[in-house]
Amino acid sequence: MDWAFLVVAIMNLSFVLGVLLNLGGVLTWVERKQGAVMANRIGANRAYIPIPIPQKGGGVKWSKRFTVMGLWHGIADGAKMIMKEDYTPPFVDKYIYNIAPWFAVVPVLVTFAVIPFGGPFQPGIMLSDVFGLVGADFASEWVMALFGERTFQMQLADLNVGLLFVFAVGSTGIFSAALAGWASNNKYSLLGALRSSSQMISYEVFMGMAILGLVVIYGTVDMNLIAQMQGDVWFGFLPKWGIFLQPHMFFIFMAALMAENKRVPFDMPEAESELVAGYFTEYSAMKMGLFMMAEFIEIAVIAGLLTALFFGAYHVPGVHGAGDAFYWAAHPELTPGNYVFGMEVPHVVVVVGRVGSFLAKLLFFCWFQILIRWTLPKFRYDQIMRLGWKILLPLSLVNLVLTAVVVLLIGG
Amino acid sequence: MTLQYLPVLLVVIGASGFMAVMLLLNSWLGPKPRHAPVMDTPFECGSPMLQTDNRRRTAVKYYLVALLFVMFDLETVLLYPWAVMYRELGLFGLVELLVFLVSLVVGLTYVWRKGALEW
């Protein structure tokens, strides 16, 4: 048994689950607050934690001012859903009705498993540096004995099928809509399920097509390698990110991902004005909450995918870690090490900086998606289908041919 | 080799455990109000239901979209190995791509002209 691998896997897992599940809660607040700011409303600002303030003449006054811009609303939402009645109506198909939320949450989280969020790192060197700094020498000896100088990836599963895994697992999300709508035995649910599954499979076709141009350029589907290839710079200043290779495909890919997530402007399955709540009309309490939560977690997962493929994943120009095999192979005149703008730093600085830069980019794209959600009106169903099949799919095919010709002409 | 897939299994277990905890908490903390007859009917416009089975026949267009998805998505997946190997294949790869895409575009044009993409 490879204990070091297992320990690193569990470290990565707790980081990813912690970030994603918390983001799922925080984004519910971000959505409301950002909507309020954009619509010039006051917005989520009522939930508070009472703070006791001792009065002069004895006695305590409870302050209601600790609202932190309404940040407690996310927690209040979760608590409310937990404290509602968990009711399974008698007319539904019990087994399928209860299994459907599982298909909503798990594929979304599993998709994140192949996204590199911190690059190569050496836990032995990193942790022994940290422990040495605080003077816990026995701990640094212990981690060196466990990890040695091995290089691990800050990525849950370093799979060579990478992107294909993303598409394969992402497609299983359709089951949640289809099964929930069918099992609910409700006309609104069935219509919502049909609409959402047919919308999701339509957009999945050219989601795969749109990213093919980038795969042709990189020559691999391994997310880890794709991320490492983006670590260099062109002409000394322009970072080698996917956005500069295929800027038009970035927008098409993002549109496809947002349609997969079924949010406004692609809000067909729910369409509150038409279908009550779409395929989860008959769900109550936390089961309904899990559908909502999966939607918000998927915002973060989409942001992670866009970051990893188009925005250099964890890379910041000028920061290089000792494990960047591609960078050191491209620059044989340099000695591998940890550098920030040419200055040698401890390994832990590079690792923390990279995880921070990945999270910053991820939050930016979360913000960007919610910005789009509050800016655009919703499409009609025929407009969604026309946009997908008649405009974006041909565009992706043309882009694929053009990319192939250009790659052949300039020889990579 | 299969050890790489172990973290994926860990994510599935972690996510399922999270869901189980949330649902258990819900069934534990949630209220159990008295049963009302209106809870036994599906959510609808408000009038009493005329039929018990609400899974009615639906538009055939959805079925067509599902068929088209199977066709085009399989073709997309077939293009992935080609895209990874493209630099080694060179001009031969480009010609292969064009031959493949012509057959795909013929299919798309046929579907388009037949009106399967109209809603």
| CA separation for the pair B31, A48 (Å, rounded) | 24
pTM (two decimals)? 0.87
Of A151-160, A267-276, B93-102, least confident by mean pLDDT is A267-276
pLDDT tens by residue, B75-110? 888 888 888 888 888 888 888 889 988 988 898 899
8 Å CB contact of A286 and B26: yes
Q: What is the DSSP string of A343-356?
A: EE--HHHHHHHHHH
Ranges of each domain in chain A: 1-83, 88-118+155-410
Domain coverage including residue B88 = 2-114
Kindly state the average pLDDT of the residues A38-59. 83
Asked if residue A270 has pLDDT above 70, the reply is no
Those residues whose C-beta lies under 8 Å from the C-beta of residue A49, and which sit 6 or more positions away, are A66, A72
Check: CB of residue A250 under 8 Å from CB of residue A242.
yes
- Residue A174: pLDDT band (50, 70, 90) is confident
Q: How confident is the model at residue A272 (pLDDT cuts 50, 70, 90)?
A: low
The answer to whether the CB atoms of A408 and B94 lie below 8 A apart is yes
CATH code, B74: 1.20.58.1610
How many domains does chain B divide into? Answer: 1
B83 contacts A212? CB cut-off 8 A: yes
The backbone region for B117, taken as left when phi is positive above 0, alpha when psi lies in -120 to 50, beta otherwise, is: alpha
Phi/psi for A60 (5° steps) reads: -130, 135
Q: Which residues of A touch B58 (CB under 8 A)?
A: 190-191, 194
Residue B119 lies in a domain: no
Give the gap in angstroms from C-alpha A369 to the nearest C-alpha of chain B: 24
| Residue-wise pLDDT tens digits, A18-45 | 888 888 888 888 888 888 888 888 878 8
Q: Which residue of chain B is at minimal alpha-carbon distance from A199?
A: B65
| Residues facing A119 on adjacent strands | A154
| Residue pLDDT, tens place only, A187-223 | 888 888 888 888 888 888 888 888 888 888 888 888 8
| Angstrom distance (rounded) from CA A207 to CA A223 | 16
Q: Note the pLDDT of residue A364.
A: 92
Q: What is the pLDDT of residues B30-73, one digit of tens each?
A: 788 787 777 777 777 666 777 767 777 888 888 888 888 888 88
In whole angstroms, give the CA distance from residue A304 to residue A28: 18
| Cα gap A372→A200, rounded to integer Å | 19
Residue B46 lies in a domain: yes
**Is the Cβ pair B7, A12 closer than 8 Å?**
yes
Asked if residues B26 and A81 have their Cβ atoms less than 8 Å apart, the reply is: yes
Interface contact B57, partner A, CB < 8 A: no
Residue A30 near residue A73 (C-beta atoms within 8 A): no
Q: Cβ contacts (< 8 Å) between B112 and chain A: which residues?
A: 389-390
Q: Which of residues 16-45 of B touch A (CB under 8 A)?
A: 16, 18-19, 22-23, 25-27, 29-33, 39-44
Q: How many CA atoms lie within 13 A of A72 on its CB side?
A: 12
Q: What is the mean pLDDT of residues A358-387?
A: 88
Please name which of A53, A116, A72, A94 lies closest in space to residue A324, comparing C-alpha atoms. Answer: A116
pLDDT surpasses 80 at A117: yes
Is there a domain that residue B78 lies in?
A: yes
Written as one letter, the residue type at A344 is E
Would you say the C-alpha torsion B90, B94, B96, B97 has a positive or negative sign?
positive
- pLDDT value for A412: 52
Contact A195, B59 (CB under 8 A): no
pLDDT higher than 70, residue A1: no
List the structure tokens of B57. 């026949």
Interchain CB distance below 8 Å, B94 and A389? no
B-chain residues within 8 Å CB-CB of A406? none
Q: Count CB atoms within 10 A of the CB of residue A371.
A: 13
Interface contact flag, B86 A219, Cβ < 8 Å = yes
Residue scoring higher pLDDT (A142 or A32): A32
Can you tell me which residue has the tokens 């997969």?
A: A260
A385–B65 CB contact, under 8 Å:
yes
Q: How many CB atoms lie within 10 A of CB A50?
A: 11
CB contact under 8 Å between B69 and A209, yes or no, is: no
Question: Is the pLDDT assigned to residue A7 strictly greater than 60?
Answer: yes
Among A198, A381, A404, beta carbon nearest to B97: A404
Write the single-letter amino acid at A273: S
